[in-house]
Amino acid sequence: MTELLKRTFATKKAEGSAAFVTFVTGGYPTKDATVDILLAMEAGGADVIELGMPFSDPIADGPAIQDSNTIALNNDVGYEDCLQYVRDARAKGLKAPVLLMGYYNPIIAYGEEKAVKDAREAGANGFIMVDLPPEEAIKFREICAKEDISYVPLIAPSTSLARIKFLASIADTFIYVVSKMGTTGSAANIAINTELPAIIARIREYTPVPLAVGFGVATRDQFETVANAGADGVVVGSRLVSIIRDAGVDVPQAVKTYCAELTAQGKPKPAPQVQRPAGDVSPALPVPEADPLGAASALKVSEPIVLPARFGAFGGQYVPEALVDCLVELEAAHKAALADPKFWAEFEGFYGYMNRPSKLYLAERLSEATGGARIWFKREDLNHTGSHKINNAIGQILLARRIGKKRIIAETGAGQHGVATATVCARFGMECVVYMGAEDVRRQALNVFRMRMLGAQVIPVSSGSKTLKDAINEAMRDWVTNLSTTHYLVGSAIGPHPFPTIVRDFQRIIGREIKSQMAEMRGKLPDVVVACVGGGSNAIGTFYDFINEPGVRLIGVEAGGEGVNTNHHSATLALGVPGVLHGVRTYLLQSPSGQIIETHSISAGLDYPGVGPEHAWLKDSGRAEYIVATDEEALRGFRMCTQLEGIIPALESSHAVWGAVQIAKTLPKDQDVVMCLSGRGDKDVEQISELLPGKWAEKLDWHIQLILGLDPLEIHPDHACNLILFTAMTSLIPIPAPVKKFFSLFPIYRYPENLPPPTPLTTTQGAVLLIAPPDYAQHASDPLNLPPGASHLSIDPESLRWQAYIALRRVPDVHVSWAVGLESGLPKLVLPAGMRRPLGVDMDSLNESLGDDELDEDDKTDINEKDGVQVGIQSVREVIDPAGIPVWADSIQGRSVDPLEGFINAEARNESRAWVALLEGVVRSVLLLVAPPPSFLESLLRPKPVGVTLQSTMTPPPAPLAGVSTPLPLPQSPRVYTTALNIEFREAMHALDNRLGGDVWFLGSSEPTGLDALVFAYIHCLTCTSDEVRREVTQRGNLYQWHRRVKRLVEDGLLPLH
């Protein structure tokens, strides 16, 4: 099978042209499309085809190929399907060589020997394994050689000369040359790496083997540039994936057309500008017959192994070729640091900064409640930054300085490692970028704010499960792109060698101190040491110095999530199987086909599908025990620690608390259990406050009434409707996560959970809700600036409670305004011109305004067939009690309460009852649209050639700002937010709107309120995208007494800027 590849390159060399190598992900864009795409590639001029084997975590690939992998997996395509694609394509006449390209873990899951044998039988000619460098491919290369299947090595721009010589010596058909550092991807407007000719020439010094160059080719000109640089083959992948994505119905034809254009099929070929070397491919270096785990030295690799790379069968360096020499450099630096007393003196010189040694604390009340062994806490939560992560961060930042790296990247789950990394970067003046899953950003907003406050750039990762695994993927992609300047400060004992060793060496201070402190305090070693295990950094740091102490039990506690009998857990050692992820062989939570599955834990720091390789070895060797604590058990551990010891632990550590208690119960009172309290729980308090009011309060019998109310008397009676409006918004229309976070701080404003789900109308034009100031009527007769032909309608507030609800639910294009505090108290409904159909409201005035038809009782409960919305008296009465007061269910006190009680006086509360019903109708009809169509806004706002003025778009401001006219360009997809804001805030809004191009509208009031200030702050959290705007807003906010609460929330990170 290798012969076909050799012959293909030899033929193209004889023709004086470069081979065209194409790539497509199997099963993309649909499961049935691949065979026709392969045939179309060949018909368009492809000489060699790479068929991508889908994988859940393609760390070396850019967005286009990442997306294609995701889609293929959603199409339920695996390795077996890829083999079938090859069989079917061969049966339909495909002649071109086919290489299976991808990542190692699916091959492990399938079985290496079976995978290679079945590939040959299907008609494949070789493998390109992105994360399987030759040192780790001893067994795999041996199987390939036996089956006459090619193993294609890769060479990157960063590959050293000695390593190039080695890689060239094992090539049996051709070498894949990566043209640039970074991930896969192409663009027509980005030039090919100017260093490519030198890279090719450097490789040519050692081998005549054909060189196929990939990464970055999209056009015919780029194809010729690469070919003229000396490449024997040109690889195009990402661009083809994009062509397939955008092709529409006839994907094969689009592929064929593009391939033909790229190869200039049917056109005269220009004379080659370089002469390709003659000669046959040299025989590959024989595969050494040795132990696969120890045979790398027999290959005479350029750099010797300087630290043990494996823990039993686990560990290794399963990484893209671009990272290999960087890891060798890091390994050598760490080995030198270990032997250098000056390095350790410098490291220990920061103990005062880190707050080391951390204390060993006897948890007396917890021990008494347990009734068994004494429980001790190793207080890593008292370290600077609040966790054990500072130990590793200081150590690695010193290493980074040794190797001359000035840019630091990191991944983080719970944010503790991110905070520690941001802290040391601030201390040493280094650039800091932290990757964090979008889900973890949501649930750990406080730590996100801390990182940004320290100067770090926090990048949310929205791919995959949006948790720690995906953050690591993006961090590795960044690292491979920026190796020359960047050190990846890995936070846990995971990743390719030497990272697990480096992290352990800097965390083992935990176990060393436990040993000495127990000797001092108890005159003995502990009987048991316990730690939580996600990736496993705090646990391996706790365990390591006790591994050779057989009298000490080592117990790790994993995250059991919703239970190990469900699919929602992170119990990797309990339920995982060996595989390769993020450069290391370890236990993984994966599907039978080798795809990494999504995990779950209440604690972001344990929400990871892998574990450090040393833990995998400790499990298999039997030296350590690993147990599981579920979300519920972790919360119980959290509560016990908090209420018995007055120590609020991190949710990660809470798993270990539960585990330590269970172990201590089984031991006599004269024994000692030491638990690593790895982090403090202030970061988790907000999350728990959100979790408890739901199922956990009842399940745990833990009821905490949380009211983070505003300062007394800050709510003005005129703004009761505003309060209810924004309360309703949080429950009934889609809103961004920061807004939800804002309202989670003020549960007294939360909309009742027992209301029917919203059924919003589908509108074609959209609508706008305006809230006017108390002196509304004094400024203009028509402040809405309505479209021509719109009509106004007044409704008696006595009948408004359910009538407006029905009306607004049934009119697809309604605009509403009202004046709060006016004596008449009359809201206005603005209906489209020509609307004459009765709307289910039986008021004579309404009928008279809308038409002559009289309504009967059936109209009050009929079904609007167009929108499928059921409306009527009964549906409203389920929400509003006979007195007209909305009923909130107070689960803490077990009684119904009026949520406005205590915030506004009785008269104002009575006046607000009608607004409750109106707002239900308004919000349920989605009259507050986040992005109304521009055509509707144009008619509403009457734009002028130079833009729309502020005054013409909203309720006119009070007198001091009369005549102010600030240009407000009409945005294409504006956000529309409404609230009552005072005159000074409106001035700040002018500046903000100018910066943001009219993205935020405020509709004003002459009275400042605490609620107004809070709403103002959260909108800024969403919209302030530059430091200049943030500073302006903060400085203005500091001028106002009522803004102090907002400022406090922002500083505490509870209202995060981004």
Distance, in Å, from the CA atom of 486 to the CA atom of 935, rounded to the nearest integer, reads: 48
Q: Would you say residue 26 lies in a domain?
A: yes
Residue 688's pLDDT band, with cuts at 50, 70 and 90, is confident
- Catalytic residue numbers? 50, 61
Amino acid at 374: R
**Domain match, 485 and 539 both:** no
Three-class DSSP category at 381: helix
Does residue 738 sit in the same domain as residue 788? yes
Nearest to 726 by CA among 936, 441, 1013, 1041: 1013
DSSP 1039: T
Does residue 301 fall inside a structural domain? Answer: no
Per-residue pLDDT reduced to its tens digit, 724-770: 333 333 333 333 343 344 334 333 222 233 333 333 322 222 222 32
Range ranked top by mean pLDDT from 159-173, 268-282, 1014-1028: 159-173
pLDDT one-digit tens code per residue, 633-673: 999 999 999 999 999 999 999 999 999 999 999 999 999 99
- Domain finish residue from 442, 469, 503: 503
Find the helix packing angle between 468-481 and 321-338, rounded to 10°. 90
Tell me the residue range of the domain where 923 lies. Answer: 717-1051
Q: How confident is the model at residue 1037 (pLDDT cuts 50, 70, 90)?
A: very low
565 shares its domain with 452? no
49 in Cβ contact with 99 (< 8 Å): yes
Does some domain include residue 316?
no
**Confidence at 270, pLDDT banded by 50, 70, 90:** low
- pLDDT of 446 reads 82
CATH number of the structural domain spanning residue 691: 3.40.50.1100
**How far, in Å, CA of 216 to CA of 234, rounded?**
10
Strands in 877-1002 per DSSP E: 888-890, 895-897, 948-949, 967-968
The pLDDT tens digits for 973-1021 are 223 333 323 333 334 334 334 433 333 333 323 233 333 333 333 333 3
Same domain, 248 and 326: no
- Residues listed for the chain: 1058
pLDDT attached to residue 347: 97
**Can you tell me whether residue 105 is helix, strand or coil?**
helix
Domain annotation covers residue 1009:
yes
- Whether residues 516 and 494 share a domain: the answer is no
In a domain, 585, yes or no: yes
What's the pLDDT at 443?
A: 77
Q: What's the CA gap between 284 and 170, in Å, rounded?
A: 4
How many whole angstroms separate alpha carbon 914 and alpha carbon 906?
Answer: 14
**625 shares its domain with 725:** no
Tokens for 984, please give them: 């000074």
Residue 565 confidence (pLDDT): 93
The 10s digit of each residue's pLDDT in 511-533 is 999 999 999 999 999 999 999 99
Is 603 found in the same domain as 751?
Answer: no
Angstrom distance (rounded) from CA 1055 to CA 1049? 6
| 797/806 Cα distance (integer angstroms) | 14
Residue carrying the six token digits 């009538």: 803
User: Long-range contacts: 448-453, Cβ < 8 Å, 24+?
Assistant: 448/415, 448/418, 448/1053, 448/1056, 448/1058, 449/1052, 449/1053, 449/1056, 449/1057, 450/415, 450/419, 450/422, 450/1053, 451/412, 451/415, 451/418, 451/419, 451/422, 452/1056, 452/1057, 452/1058, 453/1053
CA–CA separation, 51 and 63 (whole Å): 18
Region 191-214: mean pLDDT is 90
- Mean pLDDT value across the chain: 71
Task: Note whether residue 424 is domain-resident.
Answer: yes
Asked if residue 992 and residue 869 are part of one domain, the reply reads yes
Residue 929 to residue 735: CA distance in whole angstroms: 10
Residue where a domain terminates, one of 468, 503, 538:
503
788-827 pLDDT, tens digit per residue, is 333 222 222 222 222 333 333 333 333 333 222 222 332 3
> Of the residues 448, 479, 503, which one is the last residue of a structural domain?
503
Q: What whole-number distance in Å separates Cα of residue 188 and Cα of residue 239?
A: 9
- Local confidence band at 410 (pLDDT 50, 70, 90 cut-offs): very high
Residues 133-161, mean pLDDT to the nearest whole number: 91
Residues 514 and 482 in one domain: no
CA dihedral sign of residues 380, 385, 390, 391:
negative
List own/partner pairs for 336-343 with CB under 8 A and 24 or more apart: 336/402, 337/398, 337/399, 337/402, 338/505, 343/398, 343/402
> Is residue 564 a contact partner of residue 571, using CB atoms and an 8 Å limit?
yes
pLDDT in tens, 380-404: 999 999 999 999 999 999 999 999 9
Which CATH number does the domain housing residue 116 bear?
3.20.20.70
Q: DSSP letters along 153-183, please?
A: -EE-TT--HHHHHHHHHH-SS-EEEE-SSSS
Q: Which amino acid is at 296?
A: A
- Within-domain flag for 383: no
Give pTM, 2 decimals. Answer: 0.68
Dist CA 554 CA 622 (whole Å): 10
Phi, psi of 674 (to 5 degrees): -105, 125
d(CA 272, CA 572): 55
- Measure CA 21 to chain center: 34
In this predicted structure, what is the pLDDT of residue 687?
83
Phi, psi of 384 (to 5 degrees): -60, 135
Q: Under DSSP, is residue 591 helix (H, G, I), strand (E, B) or coil?
A: coil
- For the residues 99-114, what does the mean pLDDT come to? 96
* Same structural domain, 491 and 531: no
Domains of the chain: total: 4
End-to-end CA distance of the chain: 54
Predicted confidence at residue 248, as pLDDT, reads 81
In angstroms, the CA 589 to CA 578 distance is: 9
pLDDT at 695: 75
pLDDT over 90 at 693, yes or no: no
Q: Are the beta carbons of 259 and 300 closer than 8 angstroms? A: no
774-782 LR contacts (CB < 8 Å, sep 24+): 774/718, 774/819, 774/820, 774/821, 774/822, 774/1005, 774/1006, 774/1007, 775/958, 775/1006, 776/819, 776/822, 776/955, 777/819, 777/822, 779/955, 779/956, 780/956
Q: How confident is the model at residue 274 (pLDDT cuts 50, 70, 90)?
A: low
179 domain residue, yes or no? no
State the Cα–Cα distance between residues 1029 and 993, nearest whole angstrom: 10
Q: How confident is the model at residue 306 (pLDDT cuts 50, 70, 90)?
A: low
Together in a domain, 483 and 548? no
Pair 128, 228 in one domain: yes
